[in-house]
Copies of this chain bind each other. A is one copy, B any other.
Amino acid sequence: MATIRDVARAAGVSIATVSRVFNDHTLVNPETASRVLEIATKLDYWPNGAAQSLTTRRTQTLGVMLPELFGEFYSEVIRGIDRQSRAHDYQILLSSSHSNGEEVLIAGRAMLGRIDGLIMMAPDEASIETVERVRRRVPVVLLNPRIEVEGCCSVAFENFSGARAAVTHLIGLGHRDIAIITGPPGNVDAEERLRGFRRALADAGMDPDAAAVIPGDFRESAGYEAGVALLARKPRPTAVFAANDGMAVGLLAALAAAGKRVPRDIAVVGFDDIAMAAYLNPPLTTVSVDACGLGHRAVDLMMGAIESGPTGGSLRQQLPAVLVVRQSCGSATAGTGLLEQTAGSSGGTVRRGRK
């Protein structure tokens, strides 16, 4: 394939001139420029990206590392990152499905020299080493970090207050025996949501330790199994808070299979507000987080960090988690699930209806 030298030779100029034409840097004689461009087209010359980033130390690429790519949530995060990156003329180098620190380290190493910054959702503490090493070279933005890292920006959802609001809502509806299906152990989001659940109970003068805690792993199947387990329990809880919507879906299926009616027999609340939540039967009351917005915000922080260089401070941002009341919790004022019914009431943290 043609290199800059081939073009220079064919056009009878030096490679410096060709480079200048392509970066329209300094003034180049228009005649020379057009001749070079013409030759370049004829030779099908395209600058080599690796060579460019080697000299300029710029790649116009953002690294993105995610723990795993299943579930709608992560897709949305990627969408948000992608969209905002494009707006800033950046491409994204994606590497996901990392289950342990070792894999993260390898992926991080492979990215080095190819990225101007790294947006990362770390699955576990073992990844912190990678973060530290990468951070010495390019800015790092953490998503929902388990541990804040000195010198890294981060964006996180208000998991705690979102969960608390959801459970408080159930309590307000009269429920006194509320169970929770948790996320995988060690997952920050899961832990924060559990903490919010317990706080809500405590705030209402109930004993958090008395509540049924069913272990889950954020997958639909875990929700189903949890549902089966719950039904065998006596006394049976009157409401369940599933730590994410995926498990709520499985739970609803288990309840339907057992002939239980939601919310009459048992109330259900989820977390995430995935696209199908409004279309479930009954429409799912859940806590809405803007996954796409998380990615968007992460890119914004990254752009700031890249601008300001390694001296940039470590901003911490929180994104709201908003309770969306639909029908699965039995609220009298719930939306229909098919028609928009946004209410401006309840202190601004509760929405009703479809979106």
Contact = CB atoms under 8 A, between A and B. Distances in A.
Contacts of A27: none
Interface string A92-120: 11111100000000010111111000000
A59 interface: yes
Contact of A50 (B70, B82, B113, B338): B113
A52 interface: yes
B279 A112 contact: no
A279 B249 contact: yes
Contact of A91 (B52, B54, B95, B113): B95
A19 interface: no
Contacts of A137: 1, 46
Interface in A41-79: 44, 46-54, 59-61, 69-70, 72, 75-76, 78-79
Contacts of A76: 75
A110 B91 contact: yes
A93 B93 contact: yes
Interface residues of A, number: 52
B44 A133 contact: yes
A112 B54 CA distance: 14
A94 B92 contact: yes
A256 to B, nearest CB: 5
A95 B82 CA distance: 7
A179 interface: no
A153 B50 CA distance: 26
A86 interface: yes
Contact of A75 (B46, B72, B133, B276): B72
A146 interface: no
A16 to B, nearest CB: 19
A48 B113 contact: yes
A91 B75 contact: no
Residue from A76, A79, A249, A257 having most chain B Cβ neighbours under 10 A:
A79
A49 to B, nearest CB: 3
Interface string A283-306: 000000000000000000000000
A37 B77 CA distance: 37
A339 interface: yes
A35 interface: no
Interface string A161-193: 000000000000000000000000000000000
A83 B110 contact: no
Given A48-B113, A82-B96, A279-B280, 18 more contacts: A44-B136, A46-B112, A48-B112, A49-B112, A50-B59, A51-B113, A60-B110, A61-B114, A72-B75, A78-B78, A91-B93, A91-B95, A93-B93, A249-B279, A253-B338, A256-B338, A257-B338, A275-B276
22 contacts: A1-B136, A1-B137, A46-B112, A46-B137, A49-B112, A50-B59, A51-B113, A52-B113, A53-B114, A61-B114, A69-B82, A69-B83, A75-B75, A82-B94, A82-B97, A86-B96, A91-B93, A91-B111, A93-B94, A114-B114, A249-B279, A276-B279
